[in-house]
């Protein structure tokens, strides 16, 4: 009876298989999308590019933690990024923390430091994740590999746990990681394929007490930035993964389990990984279009007389993007946003309608009237 269940137990591990011909069209499309993104970025002013880079980098740092169920304060991370990128902001409103600074350092090192990967560098990344962490119940040895074999990925309540994966034994961690690092530094594999393989390989080793998912995704960013020339300041892979978090875990589980993947075949995993990068670029293209629309709209209303409440509502609508303010703007929503009464809200809305700042959404009238920004 074959008792081998996990990918690292396969006699050929880590000599993975994949069908490049099946993956190649997706890679070409990804490179085309990357070119489209660069073109869109060129429409932005220097300050808009800086702000977009900050917001995308912020999304990456926030999302890679959210995937693991950890919430970070956006204002803290934003302040840390502004400091590290040397972008002007109000220092009196600096909300950065030791934790947000260290996570930002990890992010910057993985994306902009093209030196060869090393054990020491991985350990520094691990220390950065747990810079401000301390727990008696769930201690983490910072900057060193785990010293035990009982590393399992489980879900469910106590007594009803489901084991999704059992990681490689402790004695095999260091030689396996060194082999992975050599692959990352020396292999001539296509950079998209390499990032997918390295991600899966690292997660299969699961070398640390905690933080393995975040370091695995940092490795992806490192490879894409260094070898792909993809300026990933402008897109967030973790944001795309986070939108499909359960699917991400399912793909990892299927690929790492020999019952589903007896030939350690990675074609499906690489395709899923590549599609996630493409989705992240699509998100950025959409967001850039929103920035362009906001700029054009502000130019349109620059010399139109409006009060502070009207401008607040306009900015809220612009932040949501065209068609993304659910149900449209109503008198009730206007009142809630501006703390005004119904009569005042009606007057403000009518004024904005007359000035062609908003327009009525077809199919609604009377008290049910709904509005959207008039981008014409």
Q: From CA 289, how far away is CA 294, in angstroms rounded?
A: 9
What percent of the chain has a predicted confidence (pLDDT) above 90? 71
SS3 state at 111: helix
The pLDDT assigned to 325 comes to 72
CATH number for the domain harbouring residue 239: 1.10.3290.10
In a domain, 353, yes or no: yes
The pLDDT assigned to 365 comes to 84
Last residue of a domain, one of 243, 262, 289: 289
Within this chain, do residues 22 and 150 fall inside the same structural domain, yes or no?
A: yes
Within this chain, do residues 253 and 361 fall inside the same structural domain, yes or no?
A: no
Last residue of a domain, one of 223, 258, 289: 289
Within this chain, do residues 245 and 336 fall inside the same structural domain, yes or no?
A: no
The pLDDT assigned to 176 comes to 98
Within this chain, do residues 351 and 282 fall inside the same structural domain, yes or no?
A: no
78-92, 120-134, 197-211, 230-244: range with lowest mean pLDDT = 78-92
Within this chain, do residues 200 and 285 fall inside the same structural domain, yes or no?
A: yes
Residue 308, domain extent: 304-373
How many domains are contained in the chain?
2
38-52, 104-118, 192-206: range with lowest mean pLDDT = 38-52
Last residue of a domain, one of 289, 320, 346: 289
- The full DSSP string for 191-244 is HHHHHHHHHHHHHHH--SSS-HHHHHHHHHHHHHHHHS---GGG--HHHHHHHT
In a domain, 93, yes or no: yes
Within this chain, do residues 136 and 190 fall inside the same structural domain, yes or no?
A: yes
The pLDDT assigned to 150 comes to 86
Q: Does the pLDDT value for residue 241 go beyond 60?
A: yes
The model carries a pTM of: 0.85
Q: Whole-number mean pLDDT of the chain?
A: 91
Beta pairing class for 152-155 and 358-360 = unpaired
Q: From CA 311, how far away is CA 313, in angstroms rounded?
A: 5
Per the structure block, which two tokens stand in for 278?
A: 């493409």
Within this chain, do residues 342 and 196 fall inside the same structural domain, yes or no?
A: no
For the segment 269-273, the average pLDDT, to the nearest whole number, is 98
Within this chain, do residues 234 and 312 fall inside the same structural domain, yes or no?
A: no
The pLDDT assigned to 318 comes to 86
Confidence of residue 1 (pLDDT cuts 50, 70, 90): very low
Q: Does the pLDDT value for residue 5 go beyond 90?
A: yes
CATH number for the domain harbouring residue 345: 1.10.10.10
Most confident option among 3-12, 81-90, 359-368 = 3-12
Confidence of residue 3 (pLDDT cuts 50, 70, 90): confident
Within this chain, do residues 281 and 348 fall inside the same structural domain, yes or no?
A: no
Strands (E), the chain: 152-155, 162-166, 358-360, 371-373
Within this chain, do residues 283 and 326 fall inside the same structural domain, yes or no?
A: no
Confidence of residue 233 (pLDDT cuts 50, 70, 90): confident
Return the bridge partners of 360, or none. 371
The pLDDT tens digits of the residues spanning 142-151 come to: 999 999 998 9
In a domain, 299, yes or no: no
In a domain, 1, yes or no: no
In a domain, 206, yes or no: yes
For the segment 300-305, the average pLDDT, to the nearest whole number, is 93
In a domain, 281, yes or no: yes
Within this chain, do residues 190 and 131 fall inside the same structural domain, yes or no?
A: yes
**Residue from 294, 221, 217 nearest 248 by CA:** 217
The pLDDT assigned to 349 comes to 95
Within this chain, do residues 341 and 276 fall inside the same structural domain, yes or no?
A: no
Strands (E), 285-363: 358-360
In a domain, 349, yes or no: yes
In a domain, 295, yes or no: no
Q: Does the pLDDT value for residue 324 go beyond 60?
A: no
């Amino acid at each position: 009876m074959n008792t081998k269940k996990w990918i690292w137990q396969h006699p050929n591990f880590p000599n993975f298989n994949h069908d490049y011909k099946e993956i190649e069209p997706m890679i070409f499309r990804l490179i085309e999308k990357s070119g489209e993104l660069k073109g869109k970025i060129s429409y932005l002013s220097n300050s808009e590019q800086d702000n977009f880079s900050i917001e995308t980098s912020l999304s990456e740092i926030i999302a890679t933690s959210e995937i693991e169920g950890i919430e970070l304060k956006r204002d803290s991370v934003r302040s840390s990024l502004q400091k590290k990128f040397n972008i002007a902001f109000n220092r009196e409103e600096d909300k950065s923390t030791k934790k947000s600074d260290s996570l930002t350092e990890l992010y910057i090192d993985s994306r902009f430091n093209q030196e060869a990967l090393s054990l020491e560098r991985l350990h520094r990344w691990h220390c950065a994740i747990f810079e401000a962490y301390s727990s008696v119940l769930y201690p983490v040895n910072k900057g060193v590999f785990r010293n035990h074999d009982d590393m399992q990925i489980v879900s469910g309540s106590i007594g009803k746990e489901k084991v999704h994966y059992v990681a490689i034994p402790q004695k095999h961690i260091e030689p396996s990681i060194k082999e992975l690092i050599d692959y990352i530094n020396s292999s001539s594999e296509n950079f998209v394929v390499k990032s997918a393989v390295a991600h899966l390989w690292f997660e299969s080793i699961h070398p640390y007490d905690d933080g393995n998912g975040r370091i695995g995704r940092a490795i992806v960013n490192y490879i894409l930035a260094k070898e792909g020339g993809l300026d990933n300041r402008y897109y967030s892979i973790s944001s795309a993964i986070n939108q499909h978090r359960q699917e991400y875990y399912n793909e990892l589980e299927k690929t790492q389990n020999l019952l589903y993947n007896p030939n350690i075949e990675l074609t499906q995993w690489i395709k899923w990984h590549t599609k996630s990068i493409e989705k992240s670029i699509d998100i950025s293209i959409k967001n850039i279009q929103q920035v362009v629309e906001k700029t054009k709209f502000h130019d349109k209303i620059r010399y139109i007389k409006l009060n502070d409440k009207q401008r607040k509502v306009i900015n809220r609508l612009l932040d949501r993007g065209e068609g993304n303010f659910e149900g449209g703007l109503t008198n009730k929503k206007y009142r809630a946003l501006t703390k005004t009464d119904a009569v005042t809200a009606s007057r403000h809305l009518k004024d904005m309608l007359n000035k062609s700042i908003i327009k009525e959404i077809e199919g609604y009238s009377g008290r049910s009237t709904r509005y959207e920004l008039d981008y014409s």
